[in-house]
Structure 1
Amino acid sequence: MSSWKIAVLGLGIIGSRAAANLTKASIGEVRTWNRTPKGLPGECATVEEAAEDANLVLLFLKDAKATREVAERIFAMPLPGEERIIVNHATVDLATTQWLASECAARGLSFLDCPFTGSREAAAGAGLVYYAGGPANLVDRVEPVLLKTAKSVLRCGEAGSATVMKLVTNLISACTVQALAESMATATRHGIAPEQLIDAVSRNACGSVLAAMKLPTMASGDFDTHFSLSNMLKDSRYVLELAEQAGIETPAIRTVSKRMQELCDQGLADKDYSALAAPYLQS
């Protein structure tokens, strides 16, 4: 590209921080849009205004429904004078990723399947990790932009492979946090202080970066949102679809998905998914 004209569509916890880092990097013009206006710098009133002459469109939308709706609006727009690249950072189901790839190909648009791992602090510090699915030469071209919001890019294969990678790793995270919640509840009811459990886990083979992040806040009942329970519930449903398509029984994530739905119904949807521990904190 002679110069980047970037549209960031979706200004939630991650998209807003990614847009800020791209603007700070001064790699080209950055315009943004959000369904509910945020009043952020460079924010446009419509998708069409934000993406009008963009040669790189980055989707940071909530789910498959929102992604398809916004993509349809982009597909209806005339192309800019040069190639347009669509990069989907939203975590969606595999069918939606395949639909995006097919629709882009039919319209002469380039497409990159590129979900991420990393939550609020990682996004603020340009420390996300992107999973990239698409042609190697396209990843090569877009990677310098991606590295303005991330610390690394993991190449997974063709479009769709990155979506699968994101979903199966979120399966591990959801089941792990449920296990941590059950462990802490059982330990504390038997007189073990949360600090003792946190120390024990850190010295155990089950210790992890995730456990170190979540156990202290779960112990204190701090469910400030880094990655929402509703988003993890959404991803659990997508991964259950993958398992069903593969003919695999996955009782752990099926059970945790049911639990997350129950807690969302109780008003915890917008809390961090570590709110899986919330029922155990009630007297």
Structure 2
Amino acid sequence: MKIAVLGLGIIGSRAAENLRLNSDHHVTLWNRTPKGFEGECNDLLKAAGDAEVMALYLKDGPAVREVTTQLFHSLSNKPTLLNHSTVDLATTHWLAEECAKRGWGFLDAPFTGSRDAAAGAKLVYYAAGSSSLLEKMKPLLLETAKEVIPCGDVGRATIIKLVTNLVSACTVQALAEALATATRHGIAPETLTSAIASNACGSPLAALKLPTMASGDFTPHFSLQNMLKDSRYALELAEGLDTPAIRTVSDRMAELCESGLSEQDFSCLASPYLDS
């Protein structure tokens, strides 16, 4: 297939590399800020021009709208657009409508999984849209993922992605508070990590994040600024509901971004406790 991967951040660059391993594909790459990857084009329209599939791994709703508006106004072919970017629900519906006007295929297909999962082709896609198109695209999706979860109509995958990230953000804040409280009373981080692993509150997220939080290693797997963005989209979805947990965590993430931690992993929610 002729595939254009648009957006070469932590996830997009690694997904693109996995697609390039399949010699049957012709893969072109593009990023708003050129990164110098093999196969990368500096011109968006050149990268996407004759693509059968365009896979978006862009930062947010405004970036997706900016890039796809150029594509909608310039391309004469009828590709399939796979939106893997985490965006607001309104942008997902806008994409679906614009694609339908032009006879393009469209899947609402955000992912879960961070840097290492992307490198190992072990992302999980939440996928919503036409069931027939999803079946057609599933083999391609599985070249960068270990699982594709059908979610129904367009928009439902976006919602699931945002509410699951809500849980992750609140969980990491809770882990940061637990770590700070336990170590203040002389409990070793390793003991807490082991105890949580055997507790009902244990999770792969806790197992992944607690050791690096304890050591102050916030090398980005999923950045704080991206989690902040997703928390704000989740708050939009929850408008009219009382959601104190994600609102509080969103405010904390905003403070830390303003303090210069925006590019760090979102586990830097533990950072204020390490500095105290």
What does the per-residue CA deviation read over 1:10-42, in whole Å, with 9 as the maximum and x for residues that have no partner?
000000001100010223210000011111111
What does the per-residue CA deviation read over 1:224-276, in whole Å, with 9 as the maximum and x for residues that have no partner?
000000000000000000000xx311110000000000000000000000000
Aligned counterpart in structure 1 of residue 13 of structure 2, from 2, 16, 25: 16
Report the counterpart of residue 212 of structure 1 in structure 2: 207
Q: Counterparts of 1:46-195 in structure 2 under 5 Å?
A: 46-80=43-77, 83-195=78-190
Q: Counterparts of 1:197-236 in structure 2 under 5 Å?
A: 197-236=192-231
TM-score (norm 2): 0.99
**Secondary structure, aligned partner of 2:126:** strand
Q: Distance in 2 between matches of 1:55 and 1:79?
A: 12
Q: Distance in 1 between matches of 2:205 and 2:244?
A: 22
Q: Distance in 2 between matches of 1:78 and 1:88?
A: 17
What amino acid maps onto 2:87 in structure 1?
V
Q: Distance in 1 between matches of 2:116 and 2:24?
A: 22
Q: Distance in 1 between matches of 2:36 and 2:275?
A: 38
Q: Displacement of 1:107 after TM fit? A: 1.3
Report the counterpart of residue 250 of structure 1 in structure 2: 243
Q: Displacement of 1:55 after TM fit? A: 1.1
Q: Distance in 1 between matches of 2:145 and 2:190?
A: 32
What amino acid maps onto 1:15 in structure 2?
G
Instruction: Structure 2: give runs of 5+ residues left out of the alignment.
Output: none
Q: After the TM superposition, which segments of 4 or more aligned residues of structure 1 sit over 2 Å from their partners?
A: none
Q: Distance in 2 between matches of 1:159 and 1:26?
A: 31
Q: Distance in 1 between matches of 2:108 and 2:43?
A: 24
**Secondary structure, aligned partner of 1:13:** coil
Report the counterpart of residue 277 of structure 1 in structure 2: 270
What amino acid maps onto 1:225 in structure 2?
P
Q: Distance in 1 between matches of 2:247 and 2:23?
A: 44
Report the counterpart of residue 23 of structure 2 in structure 1: 26
Q: Distance in 2 between matches of 1:259 and 1:273?
A: 11
What amino acid maps onto 1:268 in structure 2?
L
Q: Distance in 2 between matches of 1:73 and 1:143?
A: 27
**Secondary structure, aligned partner of 2:99:** helix
* Equivalences, count: 276
Q: Displacement of 1:108 after TM fit? A: 1.2
Q: Displacement of 1:78 after TM fit? A: 2.8
Q: Distance in 2 between matches of 1:26 and 1:261?
A: 43
Percent sequence identity is: 65
**Secondary structure, aligned partner of 2:11:** helix
Aligned counterpart in structure 2 of residue 41 of structure 1, from 27, 31, 38: 38
Q: Distance in 2 between matches of 1:78 and 1:68?
A: 15
Q: Distance in 1 between matches of 2:75 and 2:193?
A: 55
Q: Counterparts of 1:254-269 in structure 2 under 5 Å?
A: 254-269=247-262
